[in-house]
Structure 1
Amino acid sequence: MSDPVLNIAVFALFVVITLYVVYRASSRNSTTADYYAAGGRFTGRQNGIALSGDFLSAASFLGIAGAIAVHGYDGFLYSIGFLVAWLVDLLLIAELLRNTGRFTMGDVLSFRMRQRPVRAAAATSTLVISFFYMLAQMAGAGGLVALLLDVHGGFAQAVVIGVVGVVMVLYVLVGGMKGTTWVQIIKATILILCVVLMTVFLLGKFGFSLSNLLSAAADNSPLGDRLLEPGSLYGGSEVSKLDFVSLSVALILGAAALPHVLMRFYTVPNSREARRSVVWATGCMLVFYLCTLVIGFGAAAMVGPDAITAAPGGENSAAPLLALNIGGTLLLGVVSAVAFATILAVVAGLTITASASFAHDVYANIVKRGKVRAAQEVRVARLTAVVIGVLAIFGGILAAGQNIAFLVALAFAVAASANLSTLLYSLFWKRFNTMGTLCGIYGGLIACVVLVVFSPVVSGSPDSIFPGVDFHWFPLRNPGLVSIPFSFLCGFVGTLLARDKADPRKQAEMEVRSLTGIGA
């Protein structure tokens, strides 16, 4: 029923416009500060909108709408976790991080530690987290094109994932952080306008009565009234209840440790604007997630969970199918272009973060020991972006078919496990030392990745990445409940057992700088 030519035309128009914006914005990418942090010239409002653009990924738009349409109340739990997570950023992270670091998370963690091992650990966790997050976005791209072009084979999805990868690398190579930020601002504005308009159209069809909409959704769902009650996804057994607690912990604590979110705080001139960024981002996302609640139940009411799960792309096709139902092929083309733009913008942000971490932390400060020209460091960052793009394309092809909200939740678990404990200990614990930092990062990272590999996500379930085999022994689909406390324990024990003591002068300097901004 869709019009592939129209869908591709709308998407191509967006790509052309944003590439032009990126090109115009890239004229001053001559220094590392310009390339990594846009020279710190964005306002809190601009950066807040860009933050929401970076955070509102394909998981938020496609995955959550699909989860609500199919699972009802339990699907909306993703939205609650994603939104509440920003309180941790606002209260504990944003201002102190902006004052202490310069370009990457490694700047903060290594401030009063031994530089080389800590920067290597920070870069490792950044690259792993970025890869997990990219898997979700690329899987979303493949599922979306399967719906739009009515393609059921894997080859066409692989081709589109490749195209998305190439365009995202172009954004990063040409525009750096400044160009990528403007893409995020454009994308966030279009995305929020799109979901607000869809919400208004949808409520209008039910007499602007949310009760009528919810009743129709329950009537059209195999779950019936249970669609509106807790328990359809996370209430069937004790293990599923534990899985819900684990998911909630990962979502709420993960946002404060995502490298591509943390790096955005360096694009503003001071800590006050960093706080404003979080407030603006939270406001934008509040509007968005309230709209996805209506869109998800609207898809259940007007399309039906059975039609959604049977469509190419599965749960991720709920929002596009609803757009086709209420607005025809034109609205479907617009919604699909917005979804593609969402994927492109997020993977561009992830790519520049991962490439900056490698070039700044590994190449400039470990390999070259800080003696490197700016142009040379930027060149390495661009080469790294190409390599990351290739890896993301292959990973996205493997992960096609998974619910992308769920895949992003795994990235949140890895981020919270590897980064959060060391960030908080570095900022607030005077005794914390290099050994504690390394134990916290590597202990949490290894524990989280191992538990994911041996969980039902990878094997032993019909919707696993490898459904034909079964080598899982960890029962939870999200490891956050185990791996996050384990990383805090590793950092604590490593600090107490280490022989090296924290430098009191560097600790005092970091404390004054983080709280006042002097020297930032």
Structure 2
Amino acid sequence: MSTLAIGDFVASGVDLLSAATTEVENNPVLNITIFAAFVAVTMFIVLRASRNNKSASDYYAGGRSFTGPQNGFAISGDYLSAASFLGICGAIAVNGYDGFLYSIGFLVAWLVALLIVAELMRNTGKFTMADVLSFRLKQRPVRMAAALSTLAVCFFYLLAQMAGAGGLVSLLMGIDGKVGQSLVIAVVGALMIIYVLVGGMKGTTWVQIVKAILLIAGAFAMTIWVLALNGFNLSTLLASAVDNAAEGVGEGVLNPGLQYGENPLDFISLALALVLGTAGLPHVLMRFYTVPTAKEARRSVVWAIWLIGAFYLFTLVLGYGAAALVGADTIKNAPGGVNSAAPLLALQLGGPLLMGFISAVAFATILAVVAGLAITAAASFAHDIYANVIKKGKVEDSEAEVKIARRTVIVIGAVAIIGGIGVQGQNIAFLVALAFAVAASANLPTIVYSLFWKRFTTRGAVWSIYGGLISAMVLIAFSPVVSGSETAMIPGADFAIFPLSNPGIISIPLGFILGWIASITDKTVESPELAAEMDVRAHTGFGAEEAVEH
């Protein structure tokens, strides 16, 4: 099959979209074959990795058997979600400079998470974020609050991945309309359930490693291709992006304010959520429990920094490359909307074969991330709520806990499918920003206080988690994201009384303030021995290896 040359699409944006869609529809066997191959390979990996999934440590933490470089690739695979690839490329292609702020925010957020909380939590914890937060406080109320917060963050993140899957496969298969996209989302949910049920953390980790290699390699190849077409001159690329910008935008794609110029507070709120949110994302923090020692955890950090940093630099070229070669109007009108920028750029560069490959990589990205989210949510419910709250730590054996986790995965998958169908058409980078806002509001204050403030109490933890969680979710519910705008989740409705699209500027400080007030007004004295033990373990790693085996 011959590839489509760049010159074949010098006509208008509408002609490009028509040709792209027709070409996709004319090659269904090719597209389905590429997707099926990726699913088959990843399923084989999951089956191979699942042979020793018996204990809770095997299922939740992969038996702590991964090396630093392996875990570094897996961390980048977990962190570089569909929002990073599809959402950010689309945001840059359509909104230019303001879209690139997502890349900057996600990268800076990663550094904040590593420098402040990642290794300390790994040294203190066992399987979940709640292990750390309840270490020196009363177990049941803190575990319940942390588990509910984990489930909420995972839910919002899953919505973004499901929305990306619907738009991506719809574009590749030429499916337009909500019924077809809803079917795609259901298939993704079913595959996610199978991956996590069978593979646990071991299978999920290997899928993330393979996916990270393919995603970064594919993004690198496309980046070099786009730069080569522009004589490796970034100025030439940016000038082409200006020429193909949406009507009336022009050089606005190079300047701040195209998306957030009318409401700077919205940008500040988004920036706070992005920069602070990663440090509270339970599925990213859980990755550090899969290595055997603190030294390997640090090695995985170094690998992850290089991989993630390089990828976010690629998004700048890919986003403006899509604007220059495809056109902003074409991208917005394509099935999948702004999330279709990267696949359409691949079609423009290398024809349907490259588009099929890049789309399949993005599909593998979605599968790997949703599997990681599902196992995190399942671990939180089974380990924190079932084993430590309902059973009060008296579970028959770890296999019983794993059975509950597997049942939880099925429920999570069903909820994710329904929610994903409800948010079709939303920019997935923006949906992920909402998950970051909930994580930064509910989890980060409690994590920081638990690790660094000895006066922190159980009441402070509960107030901080529930206060941040409830405020973030209520503000989202009454924001333009849900109603009162053209792109709202509920079209035609208007009950938006909160003017900002991201709640971070209100809910994040509120989480910190509530935790502080509740602690200083609490007469309860928490165990100084446990506080001292947590401090030593978090900063030195002493005793961490022994703790995780019990």
Instruction: State which of 29, 34, 51 in structure 2 corresponds to 1:10.
Output: 34
- List aligned pairs for 1:16-415, cutoff 5 A: 16-221=40-245, 222=247, 223-235=249-261, 237=262, 240-372=263-395, 373-415=397-439
* Matched AA of 1:103: F
Report how far residue 279 of structure 1 moved: 2.2
Query: What per-residue deviation string (whole Å, max 9, x for no partner) do you get for residues 163-197 of structure 1?
Result: 10011111111111011000000000000000011
Q: Secondary structure at the match of 2:260?
A: coil
* Matched AA of 2:77: G
Q: How far apart, CA to CA, are the structure 1 residues paired with 2:415 and 2:543?
A: 38
Q: How far apart, CA to CA, are the structure 2 residues paired with 1:28 and 1:145?
A: 34
* Matched AA of 2:348: N
Q: How far apart, CA to CA, are the structure 2 residues paired with 1:298 and 1:511?
A: 48
Q: How far apart, CA to CA, are the structure 2 residues paired with 1:280 and 1:94?
A: 14
TM-score when scaled to structure 2?
Answer: 0.93
CA contact (8 A) 1:355 1:382 kept: yes
CA contact (8 A) 1:352 1:385 kept: yes
* Matched AA of 1:230: P
* Matched AA of 2:226: L
CA contact (8 A) 1:303 1:321 kept: yes
Query: What per-residue deviation string (whole Å, max 9, x for no partner) do you get for residues 278-318 of structure 1?
Result: 22112111111111111111111111001110111110011
Report how far residue 7 of structure 1 moved: 1.5
CA contact (8 A) 1:34 1:177 kept: yes
Match of 1:465 in 2: 489
* Matched AA of 2:259: L
- List aligned pairs for 1:429-440, cutoff 5 A: 429-440=453-464
Report how far residue 88 of structure 1 moved: 1.4
Q: How far apart, CA to CA, are the structure 2 residues paired with 1:183 and 1:174?
A: 13
* Matched AA of 1:257: G
Q: Secondary structure at the match of 1:51?
A: helix
Report how far residue 4 of structure 1 moved: 2.5
Query: What per-residue deviation string (whole Å, max 9, x for no partner) do you get for residues 51-88 of structure 1?
Result: 11001111111110000001111100000000011221
Query: What per-residue deviation string (whole Å, max 9, x for no partner) do you get for residues 448-480 of structure 1?
Result: 000000000000000000120100111110111
TM-score when scaled to structure 1?
Answer: 0.98
Q: Which moved more, 1:220-229 or 1:324-333?
A: 220-229
* Matched AA of 2:95: H
- List aligned pairs for 1:479-498, cutoff 5 A: 479-498=503-522
CA contact (8 A) 1:106 1:122 kept: yes
Q: How far apart, CA to CA, are the structure 2 residues paired with 1:278 and 1:472?
A: 41
* Matched AA of 1:304: G
Q: Secondary structure at the match of 2:238?
A: helix
Match of 2:443 in 1: 419
Report how far residue 272 of structure 1 moved: 2.4
Q: How far apart, CA to CA, are the structure 1 residues paired with 2:307 and 2:242?
A: 29
Q: Secondary structure at the match of 2:440?
A: helix
Report how far residue 150 of structure 1 moved: 1.7
Q: How far apart, CA to CA, are the structure 1 residues paired with 2:32 and 2:492?
A: 35
RMSD (Å), alpha carbons: 0.9
Q: How far apart, CA to CA, are the structure 2 residues paired with 1:81 and 1:418?
A: 19
Q: Secondary structure at the match of 1:89?
A: helix
CA contact (8 A) 1:98 1:270 kept: no
Report how far residue 5 of structure 1 moved: 2.2
Q: Which moved more, 1:196-205 or 1:444-453?
A: 196-205
How many residues matched?
517
Q: Give % identity.
A: 64
* Matched AA of 1:113: L
Q: How far apart, CA to CA, are the structure 1 residues paired with 2:329 and 2:98?
A: 17
Q: How far apart, CA to CA, are the structure 1 residues paired with 2:29 and 2:105?
A: 37
CA contact (8 A) 1:96 1:271 kept: no
Q: Which runs of 5+ in 1 are unaligned?
A: none
Q: Which moved more, 1:69-78 or 1:200-209?
A: 200-209
Report how far residue 218 of structure 1 moved: 0.6
Report how far residue 122 of structure 1 moved: 0.7
* Matched AA of 1:305: A
Q: How far apart, CA to CA, are the structure 1 residues paired with 2:294 and 2:444?
A: 20
Q: Secondary structure at the match of 1:466?
A: coil
Q: How far apart, CA to CA, are the structure 1 residues paired with 2:440 and 2:474?
A: 15
* Matched AA of 2:516: F
Q: Secondary structure at the match of 2:285?
A: helix
